[in-house]
Amino acid sequence: MKKFIILMITVISILGIAPCALAEGVPTIELGGSVVTVTNAPDNSTLIIAAYNNGILNEVQMTDGSGTITADVSQYLSKAERIKAFLWDMENIYPFGEPKEIVKENIKMKVQIGDKAFTATLEDNAAVAELVEMMKEEPITIHMDDYSGFEKVGSLGRSLTTSNVQTTTTAGDIVLYNGNQIVMFYGSNSWSYTRIGKIDDLAGWEDALGSGSVTVTFDIM
The model's pLDDT over 205-214, given as tens digits with 9 standing for 90+, comes to 999 998 899 9
* Beta-bridge partner residues of 25: none
- Domains within the chain, CATH numbers bracketed: 2-101 (2.60.40), 108-220 (2.40.100.20)
Helix/strand/coil for 99: coil
What pLDDT, on the 0 to 100 scale, is given for residue 8?
Answer: 45
Residue 17 scores a pLDDT above 50: no
Cα 121 to Cα 103: distance, rounded to the nearest angstrom: 16
Residue 1 scores a pLDDT above 80: no
Helix/strand/coil for 121: strand
Mean pLDDT (the chain, rounded) = 82
Q: Decide: 72 and 90 in contact? Cβ < 8 Å.
A: no
What pLDDT, on the 0 to 100 scale, is given for residue 84?
Answer: 79
What pLDDT, on the 0 to 100 scale, is given for residue 56?
Answer: 79
H/E/C letters for each residue in the chain?
A: CHHHHHHHHHHHHHHCCCCCCCCCCCCEEEEECCEEEEEEEEEEEEEEEEEEECCEEEEEEEEEEEEEEEEECHHHCCCCCEEEEEEECCCCEEECCCCEECCCCCCEEEEEECCEEEEEEECCCHHHHHHHHHHHHCCEEEEEEEECCCEEEEECCCCCCCCCEEEECCCCEEEEECCCEEEEECCCCEEEEEEEEEECCCCCHHHHHCCCCEEEEEEEC
What pLDDT, on the 0 to 100 scale, is given for residue 33?
Answer: 64
Q: Look at 218 and 59; give whichever has higher pLDDT.
A: 218
Q: Does the predicted model carry a pTM greater than 0.85?
A: no
